[in-house]
Amino acid sequence: MTMIKVLNEGYVRLVDHMGSDLTVVNAARVSYAKQSLELSEQDIRLIRFLAREGHTSPFRHAMIQLEVYAPLMVARQWWKYVIGSAHFEGTGDSLEAWNESSRRYITEDPVFYVPSAGEWRSKPESSKQGSGEAIAWELGEKYTRELMEYIGLGMAKYEDALANGVCAEQARLFLPAYGLYVRWYWTASLQSVAHFLNQRLEHDAQKEIQDYAKAVLELIKSIYPVSLEQLTAQNIGD
């Protein structure tokens, strides 16, 4: 399995990866001029020790490359992990990469995330962010219909602007932003991906990005089973 669909039109695709649990072990042991050729029980204990004691640099020698297609509201939450990675990893410079499609250059048909009537959620009772239970189906139906009408209006103005010779980079201003799907490549270390998973698999994370995090975990857990079990111990068991 290399791709998992998310939401109505989105997906996460595993493009490439480098390394395995053995990579982590050998990176940790290089100072002793030792190398393992097969993962042993001793190696597994070493990975557990590294994760438990916060010795994270060996986990940065394994890399993961993903292609993601998600609403802009998800993409901008995700982007924070690239911005913060230099400080988080303590390297002084981030080795992460993020390349995103741009409507300055492409005019493919825009795709939008529209929640169904049963997917609209209420505001939480005890927090300023996040969401609560589903709202009444009739009210959800109303907002699904209104959102589709709003998107239709924006699309009509966007297409009219293009037809009248307005450049794509300005015509896109008419497109409703937060539900608009965007596509990007994310290349990051195993440590960075595990940090993302720990944050976005939490119960209080926005549901839409939780769904993407679950897809990421499903795609890579068989590649780095021991490391992910230790780095995301509270999440990988479900």
- Which residues belong to the active site? 200
Distance separating alpha carbons of residues 147 and 44, to the nearest angstrom: 50
Distance separating alpha carbons of residues 150 and 8, to the nearest angstrom: 18
Distance separating alpha carbons of residues 207 and 213, to the nearest angstrom: 10
CA-nearest of 95, 97, 40 to 65 is 97
Distance separating alpha carbons of residues 134 and 119, to the nearest angstrom: 7
Distance separating alpha carbons of residues 7 and 76, to the nearest angstrom: 17
Q: Which DSSP string corresponds to 57-94?
A: GGGGGSEEEEEEEEEHHHHHHHHHHHHTHHHHHTSSS-
User: Is 15 in a helix, a strand, or coil?
Assistant: strand
